[in-house]
Amino acid sequence: MRNKFFKFFNVQRVNDVRQKEIYTAEPLVPEPSAFEVEMAIEYLKRHVSPGTDQVPEETITAGRSSTRSEIHKLINSIWNEEELSEEWKESIILRAYL
């Protein structure tokens, strides 16, 4: 297998192979700004039932700047780690029949 690799890439020694740059198919998108998080909070739907986290939207929208700053830190942490908790992937859809 090793010889096939070297023949395929026309490489004499492993030390000769060095990766200079990394290219990704995804564009680099900057983490959300405090303003973007603030706008997202402002546009939350009003008077809806809380989700699985049981945090009503009123708690988030009525929060002071320190609360919103902590939400911004949390979102950026998730953004940078590219890891979302399993609970946040869950949603509940209710259909009301009148």
- Where are the domains positioned within the chain? 28-84
pTM tops 0.75, yes or no: no
* Across 82-98, average pLDDT: 74
* Across 4-33, average pLDDT: 63
* Confidence check: pLDDT of 72 > 90: yes
User: 83-96: buried (b, 16+ CB within 10 Å) or exposed (e) per residue?
Assistant: eeeeeeeeeeeeee
The token pair at 69 is 């700053």
Distance of CA 70 to the CA centre of its chain: 16
